[in-house]
Amino acid sequence: MTTWRKALEEEMRDLSDSGPVLAVAPDDAAFDVEFDDDYGSPRGPRVLAWTETRVYFPVCYDGAEWLSSAPRNPGDEGQGHVGSW
């Protein structure tokens, strides 16, 4: 069991994104809904979060769910595949 808030904190830490979180959609409460992120069908609510440097969004592969992100502004790094390892 997890929440998108926990996943967001972990993903931001992994990317050394110190924030702050500037905006979320649909609302802050969606980030605290507890759900099973293990394999099966997607169970987490639809969310987006913006920091100064990244946009975070849900990803699902084979039923497992997590948050990934893309640069908020154009840059030279490109974007890797989302949902694959």
**Residues 50, 8: Cα–Cα separation, whole Å:** 10
pLDDT in tens, 38-68: 887 789 999 999 999 999 999 998 888 999 9
Amino acid of residue 43: R
Stated pTM of the model: 0.90
In three-state secondary structure terms, 7 is helix
pLDDT for the residue 84:
64
pLDDT for the residue 71:
93
pLDDT for the residue 18:
96
Q: Region 66-82: what's the mean pLDDT?
A: 88
pLDDT for the residue 82:
84
